[in-house]
Each structure stands twice: as C-alpha cells, then as structure tokens.
Amino acid sequence: MGKLIKNHWACLIILTAATYQPKILWDFLTKNLNGAVKPIPPLKFITGTSTYQSIKARLIIFPLSALAAVLQYQSTNAALYYIIGIGVYF
C-alpha cells in the first residue's frame, strides 16, 4: 500500500473545492466582479518553476480563494473544503 502524502491529499481537497465553487457572484446585477471568480487559464511561464511548486505560494493563494468562496453565498461547501485543505497544508 502507498503512503499517505499530505500535500497530495490537500491538493485533491483544494481541487474538489474549486469544482464546487460556482461562478455566480452578483451576475444578476453587474458584470464588474466577474474577474474575481473567473477561471485563470494555465500559465505556461509559471509551470515547472519554484513558484509553481512552492507550498508557501499556495498558502498565500488558497486563503484568498477561500475568501472569494465565503463571499459567495452559494459556495459554503467550497469554502469549507478550502479551509480543510489549508489546514492539511499547514
């Protein structure tokens, strides 16, 4: 049997949270805030660098993603998954 690698487990939890987070943030009122929840395409120039592989960088980005999920009232499950994933990373 394989060993449980906490970083990979936390990554899977965060990816699950990202799939649950809808892009419905004030869509009925304005399109100005769509940039906060719009998916970012893969950034080829970051892939493979130390920033991409850094857990410290992830611990900065994931709380911001959790904050965006908390601000959307329909994504409480995603916010909880983000918080659990951040806890596993710590």
Tens of pLDDT, residue by residue over 3-20, are: 778 888 888 898 888 887
| 65 domain-assigned | yes
- The pLDDT confidence band at residue 26, using thresholds 50, 70 and 90, is low
The answer to whether position 85 is within a domain reads: yes
What mean pLDDT comes out for the span 14-38?
69
More confident residue, 84 or 45: 84
Confirm whether 38 is domain-assigned: no
| Domains: count for the chain | 1
Examine residue 58 and state whether it is found in any structural domain, yes or no.
yes
Confirm whether 83 is domain-assigned.
yes
Quote the pLDDT of residue 18. 82
Q: Is residue 1 part of a domain?
A: no
Residue 75 lies in a domain: yes
Please write the tens of the pLDDT for every residue from 42-82.
667 777 777 777 888 888 888 888 888 888 777 888 888 99
As a whole number of angstroms, the distance between CA 2 and CA 6 comes to: 12
Evaluate whether residue 62 is within a structural domain: yes
CA dist list (Å): 62 to 45, 68, 89: 20, 10, 10
Q: Could you tell me how many helices (H) and strands (E) the chain has, helices first?
A: 4, 0
Domain that holds residue 12: 7-22+43-89
